[in-house]
């Protein structure tokens, strides 16, 4: 037993590195009280964790008696989460909101690391208990981070709403888990799958359990109808945390949902062509996911049209993007999952980029209202062009990366003969064009009402902007390596 | 479903007994209310003023920190009982656990969470 635990330590080395980083950040803060030093420690720790993660490339094994699965799928998502966390730390260094002298930033960075740790565990969890614990670690850290700017009432409100919704949905999820445990006698998702295949279960009870558990996941990925917290939290939280929640938290939720669905409810003995799956009888989750997906993207896009606060607008846009990605889960097959993985990397760059521009504008003007962007094209040409490219990419138009992401999603749907769902997705993209163009129009075609002085940004800000901008453009033209990596990373431990 | 009938019967009996006893008490019991009897029961003390007052958040801090370190001790007991069986591995693991909590303790000390004034 002890030998097994010791030998399994290798599998959680990235997580151990994150734990040490979290403690080191706290100590660095109380010892030296230098904000830049704490950020440096955190960046170094995230980098070290990333290096340790790379060593796990190509491994596929269970760890700690099936508590965690270390496989290409979890390595891929942990990579996305770590890169996002690094960008968020970089954002935080130049955020005026976070560097307010009245705030203690040491805890802020330590909590970002704690949240990253929770999310990397979510990506690998293959036991319902581990899933719940890592979800709670992520949620508890994000509640505090969402309310970190204590002097802003909107931030406190966001935090409170987040806690209440989080408590409700994790309660629902736990209830679902308990029913599933009662039905199958196990919390290990591989064992649950085995029991469901050999003995089956009561259809109604299984449906209730599945729907309740999905409510927990749906809250994390902000799928309609579990999305109510999203706009308020995204608007109230500091921009850096909004960016973090909209990318990393969603990635972690998706990875957990995908692993749960694929391992638990897919027939592991199905002998069809490689890359196709069959559902085990009793719980047809694809029908639920189709409904969720259509609702999520339609509501997200339609409500975004009326938003006047750019952060809130991007919140609804991120709800819509969760809807697009859910389409990839409906396709029972590797190409659907691969499309989601491709989409996530692209979404990371374009969405972080859009939020970074929002942060830079609010650093200078103190406002996130859409009217602030009037005349920005002449005041900050580079920034405006970058924002335009991110918005075009979020819409999904060539030659940007967003187009490639949508292309693979729609291709997977059409191959699976779900053309009508692809049409719904395409129509939604058209709606989204309207509100993205609103920002575009304000930046380039409207005269500013206030100051017309050019906005100057630090060199470091411009470098971060380019770090996000270049992948958004390059992945639109040269995407083969990403696609191959994603297709390889679909593999999960123990399932075909 | 049939196997659940005894449970439902039990539930019904329990609820019925409760209702019957409370009603009987209301109907048959003698009532001689005085001022002392109607006042709030505070373990024999006469209540001084309202309990719904603001009190310092410091109490809350100390209570939360107490629970944290109290639970640490709870974890130490089973470890101490099985100390020989767990051996060096258990010792190292518990030291890591304690170091993590010590970092937390140092943090609250430096942040002044335990200062009363």
pLDDT of amino acid A99: 84
pTM to 2 decimal places: 0.89
Supply the range of the domain harboring residue B77. Answer: 2-110
- As a whole number of angstroms, the distance between CA A318 and CA A231 comes to 10
Residues of B with Cβ-Cβ distance to A5 under 8 angstroms: 89
Are A6 and B89 inside 8 Å of each other by CB?
Answer: yes
Give, as one character, the DSSP assignment of residue A247.
Answer: I
Tokens for A242, please give them: 């909004």
Q: Which residue of B has its CA nearest to A104?
A: B111
Kindly report the average pLDDT of chain B as a whole number.
87
Helices A229-236, A153-184: inter-axial angle, 10-degree rounding? 140
Q: Which distant-in-sequence residues (6+ apart) come within 8 Å of A142 by Cβ? A: A115, A162, A241, A244, A245, A249
How far is the alpha carbon of A139 from chain B, nearest alpha carbon, in Å?
Answer: 20
- A27:B100 CB<8 A: no
CB-CB under 8 Å, A26 with B89: no
> Tens digit of pLDDT for each residue in A279-312?
887 778 888 899 999 999 999 999 999 899 999 9
- Answer whether A483's CB lies under 8 Å from A343's CB: no
d(CA A87, CA A116): 12
Instruction: Determine, yes or no, domain membership for A232.
Output: no
B54 touches A at CB < 8 Å: no
B79 three-state secondary structure: helix
Q: What is the per-residue pLDDT for A144?
A: 92
Q: How far is CA A333 from CA A207, A262, A276, A336, A495, in A?
A: 22, 10, 4, 6, 12
Please answer yes or no on whether A30 and B100 come within 8 Å at the CB atom.
no
The total number of structural domains in chain A stands at: 1
In a domain, A56, yes or no: no
Contacts of A381 (CB under 8 A, 6+ apart): none
In a domain, A179, yes or no: no
Q: How far is CA A12 from the centre of its chain?
A: 21
CB contact under 8 A, A23 and B100: yes
Does B35 fall in a domain? yes
Q: Does A2 touch chain B (CB under 8 A)?
A: yes
Measured in angstroms, the CA of B110 and the nearest CA of chain A are apart by: 6
User: In chain A, which among 19-48 make CB contacts under 8 A with chain B?
Assistant: 19, 23, 26-27, 30
Q: Is A50 exposed, middle or buried, given 0-12, 13-18 or 19+ CB atoms closer than 10 A?
A: middle
Say yes or no: B60 contacts chain A, CB-CB below 8 A: no
Q: Is residue B115 part of a domain?
A: no
Q: How many CB atoms lie within 10 A of CB B39?
A: 10
Residue B99 maps to which CATH number? 1.20.58
> Tokens at residue B3, please?
């196997």
Helix, strand, coil content of chain A in percent (nearest 5): 75, 5, 20
Question: Within a domain: residue B54?
Answer: yes
Q: How far A6 CA lies from chain B's nearest CA (Å)?
A: 9
pLDDT values of chain A reduced to their tens digit, one per residue, 496 residues:
777 888 888 999 999 999 999 999 999 988 887 888 999 999 999 999 999 999 999 889 999 988 999 999 999 999 999 999 999 999 999 888 888 887 878 889 999 999 999 999 999 999 999 999 999 999 999 999 998 888 888 888 889 999 999 999 999 999 999 999 999 999 999 999 999 888 878 888 999 999 999 999 999 999 888 888 999 999 999 999 999 999 999 999 999 999 999 998 888 777 777 777 888 877 788 888 999 999 999 999 999 998 999 999 999 999 999 999 999 998 888 899 999 999 999 999 999 999 999 999 999 888 888 888 888 888 889 999 999 999 999 999 888 999 999 999 999 999 988 899 999 999 999 999 999 999 999 898 888 777 778 888 889 999 999 999 999 999 999 999 999 999 999 988 888 7
Please count the CA atoms within 13 angstroms of the CA of A342 that sit on its side-chain side: 31
pLDDT of B34-76, one tens digit each? 887 787 777 777 777 777 888 787 888 888 888 988 988 898 9
Report if residue B117 sits inside a domain. no
- Give the pLDDT score at B30: 86
Is position A97 within any domain? no
- Measured on CA atoms in the order A322, A325, A327, A330, is the torsion positive or negative? negative
- What is the total count of domains within chain B? 1
Residue A255 counted as domain residue: no
CA distances from A184 to A180, A402, B1, B18, B80 (A): 6, 42, 19, 37, 36
> Residue A454's domain spans which residues?
295-496
């Amino acid at each position: 037993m002890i030998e097994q635990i010791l030998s399994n330590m290798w599998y959680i080395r990235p997580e151990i590195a994150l734990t040490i980083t979290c403690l080191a950040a706290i100590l660095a803060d109380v010892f030296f009280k230098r904000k830049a030093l704490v950020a440096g420690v955190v960046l170094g720790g995230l980098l070290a964790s990333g290096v340790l993660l790379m060593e796990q490339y190509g491994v596929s094994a269970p760890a700690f008696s099936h508590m965690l699965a270390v496989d290409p799928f979890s390595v891929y998502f942990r990579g996305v989460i770590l890169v996002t966390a690094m960008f968020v730390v970089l954002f935080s260094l130049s955020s005026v909101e976070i560097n307010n002298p009245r705030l203690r930033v040491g805890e802020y960075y330590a909590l970002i690391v704690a949240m990253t740790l929770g999310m990397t565990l979510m990506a690998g969890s293959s036991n319902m208990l581990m899933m719940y614990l890592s979800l709670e670690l992520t949620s508890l850290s994000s509640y505090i981070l969402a309310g970190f700017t204590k002097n802003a009432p909107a931030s406190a409100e966001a935090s409170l709403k987040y806690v209440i919704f989080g408590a409700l949905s994790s309660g629902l999820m736990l209830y679902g888990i308990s029913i599933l445990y009662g039905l199958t006698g196990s919390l290990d998702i591989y064992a649950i799958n085995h029991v469901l295949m050999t003995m089956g279960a009561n259809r109604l009870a299984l449906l209730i359990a599945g729907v309740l558990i999905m409510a927990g996941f749906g809250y994390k990925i902000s799928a309609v109808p579990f999305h109510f917290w999203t706009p308020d939290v995204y608007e109230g939280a500091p921009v850096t945390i909004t960016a973090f929640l909209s990318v990393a938290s969603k990635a972690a939720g998706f990875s957990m949902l995908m692993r749960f669905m694929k391992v638990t409810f897919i027939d592991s003995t199905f002998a069809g062509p490689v890359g196709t799956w069959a559902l085990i009888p009793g719980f047809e989750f694809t029908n639920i996911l189709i409904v969720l997906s259509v609702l999520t993207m339609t509501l997200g896009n339609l409500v975004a049209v009326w938003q006047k606060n750019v952060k809130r607008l991007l919140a609804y846009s991120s709800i819509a993007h969760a809807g697009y990605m859910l389409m990839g889960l409906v396709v029972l097959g590797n190409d659907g999952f691969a499309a989601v993985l491709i989409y996530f990397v692209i979404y990371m760059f374009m969405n972080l980029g859009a939020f970074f521009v929002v942060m830079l504008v609010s650093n200078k003007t103190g406002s996130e209202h859409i009217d602030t962007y009037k005349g920005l094209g002449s005041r900050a040409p580079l920034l405006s062009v970058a924002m335009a490219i991110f918005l075009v990419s979020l819409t999904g138009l060539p030659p940007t990366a967003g187009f490639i992401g949508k292309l693979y999603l729609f291709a997977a749907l059409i191959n699976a003969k779900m053309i009508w769902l692809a049409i719904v997705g395409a129509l939604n993209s058209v709606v989204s064009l309207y509100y993205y163009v609103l920002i575009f129009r304000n930046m380039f075609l409207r005269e500013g009402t206030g100051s017309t002085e050019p906005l100057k940004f630090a060199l470091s800000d411009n470098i971060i902007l380019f770090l996000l901008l270049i992948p958004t453009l390059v992945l639109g033209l040269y995407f083969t390596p990403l696609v191959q990596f994603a297709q390889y990373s679909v593999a999960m431990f123990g399932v075909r | 479903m049939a196997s659940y009938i005894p449970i439902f019967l039990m539930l019904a009996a329990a609820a019925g007994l409760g209702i019957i006893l409370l009603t009987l008490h209301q109907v048959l019991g003698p009532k001689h209310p005085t001022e002392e009897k109607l006042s709030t029961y505070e373990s024999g003390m006469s209540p001084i003023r309202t309990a719904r007052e603001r009190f310092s958040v410091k109490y809350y801090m100390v209570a939360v920190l107490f629970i944290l370190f109290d639970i640490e001790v709870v974890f130490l007991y089973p470890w101490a009982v099985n100390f020989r069986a767990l051996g060096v591995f258990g010792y190292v693991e518990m030291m890591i656990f304690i170091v993590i909590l010590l970092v937390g303790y140092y943090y609250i000390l430096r942040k002044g969470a335990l200062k009363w004034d």
